[in-house]
Amino acid sequence: MSNERKPLPIVEVLNLRKRYRSTEALRGISFSIGKGEIVGFLGPNGAGKSTTLRILSGLVAADSGEAKVCGVDLAEEEGEVREHIGYLAENNPLPEDFRVIEYLKYRASLKGLKGSRKRERIKSVLEICDLERQISEKRIGNLSKGFRQRVGIADSLLAEPRLIILDEPTIGLDPRQSAITRKMMERLRGEVSFILSSHILSEVEACCDRMIILSHGQIVAEGTLLELQKKFIQSVAFEIVSKAKKIELQRSVRRIDPQCELLQDDPVEITGRRRFTFNCTKGQETVELILRTLLESNNFEISEFQVCRPDLETIFLKATKQNWQEMDLLGRGKNKIFKPQN
């Protein structure tokens, strides 16, 4: 048995449940987030993402279950937990009458920052969020959505929290402003843990270490992109650019994996090279074996070989599809009970 101590997770959630009247928003979810991790929270609308984030921020109380932030139980020491958290709410509501600098000073005071530390932190977050002097003197009501979002992020960073919760931080932002937000997260990677809830899958794919996919208040998938790819996409698609004849190439490939299917073949150049797309159900190792065999035979003049990795969107749809079907069946079952008998 190893004596090595595991670092305490920043977030520990165990069997968390929440119900809003007749709707069960969370059905006993459990997960943990380590120090410095950037975790993406994904899920269709109404999946329970915002509810989970609001519970972790201390804005909503859970019905049952346990949630700990930095080892502190939310149910017991809600105030202390808030000291460790920076929270950017969905739609980022801000008071419009205030200048950026005034607002940050006010928020810093609320978060217990005083004197030189308060000044230092405000200066630091203005720099991190690229809110130069001219912007900091402007009224929040006169700022563009991108700058308002940066003010919200600056606020969440003020008290040097150990966990930052960003609920849809890049919604409505242009690609440049989204990139700035990602850059800010990259800058803090390793120091601060992030929970990022977003519908923009490419963004989550680009900056998150791990993803948690929720559907109907349940976690339907959890892991790194590679783990999710392995879990949900059993077949591997690969592309070969070659001068070989279709039938010969197909025969050679099928000698290794008889189920390997040719999905597509397109001409790529006038030189006669073609791009062949295959689908292998036996996984990455078989694909590697196919490549080695084709290269060794020297008959195929392979100029390009590429494994097509399924993107997060494909994984997301696969992960949530099963849950949707299950819930749909449950729903139908319920309806049957209440159907009037003729």
Q: By C-alpha distance, which of 300, 284, 289, 236 is closest to 263?
A: 236
Q: Where in 112-131 is the site for another protein (CB under 8 A)?
A: 112
Nearer to another protein among residue 105 and residue 243 (C-beta): 105
The smaller minimum CB distance to another protein, of residues 77 and 311, is found at 77
Q: How far is the CB of 148 from another protein (least distance, A)?
A: 12
Bridge partners of residue 163, in order along the sequence? 85, 193
Binding mask 80-99 for another protein (x = CB under 8 A): x-xx-x-x-x-x-xxxxxx-
Residue choice 28, 60, 293, 314 for contact with another protein (CB under 8 A): 60
Q: 235: number of CA atoms within 13 Å, CB side? A: 15
Is 326 one of the binding residues for another protein (CB under 8 A)? no
| 147 contributes a contact to another protein by CB under 8 A | no
Distances (CA, A) of 191 to 78, 125, 161, 163, 202: 23, 15, 10, 9, 23
Cα–Cα distances (Å) from 304 to 3, 238, 279, in that order, read 48, 11, 16
Q: For residues 160 and 171, what is the distance between their CA atoms, to the nearest angstrom?
A: 24
Least distance (Å) between residue 18 CB and another protein: 10
Give yes or no for residue 142 binding another protein (CB under 8 A).
Answer: no
Residue 141 binds to another protein (criterion: CB under 8 A): no
DSSP string, 35-97: TT-EEEEE-STTSSHHHHHHHHTTSS--SEEEEEETTEETTT-HHHHHHTEEEE-TT----TT
Cβ proximity to another protein, 169 vs 287, nearer residue:
169
The residue among 107 and 210 lying less far from another protein, judged by its C-beta, is 107
Asked if 194 interacts with another protein (CB under 8 A), we say no
Please tell me the count of residues contacting another protein according to CB under 8 A: 27
Judging by beta carbons within 10 Å of its beta carbon (0-12, 13-18, 19+), is residue 294 exposed, middle or buried? buried
Judged by beta carbon, residue 108 or residue 312, the one nearer another protein is 108
Compute the least distance from the CB of residue 158 to another protein, in Å: 10
Strands 23-33, 38-42: parallel, antiparallel or unpaired by DSSP?
unpaired
Footprint of another protein on this chain (CB under 8 A)? 57-61, 79-80, 82-83, 85, 87, 89, 91, 93-98, 102, 106-107, 109-112, 155
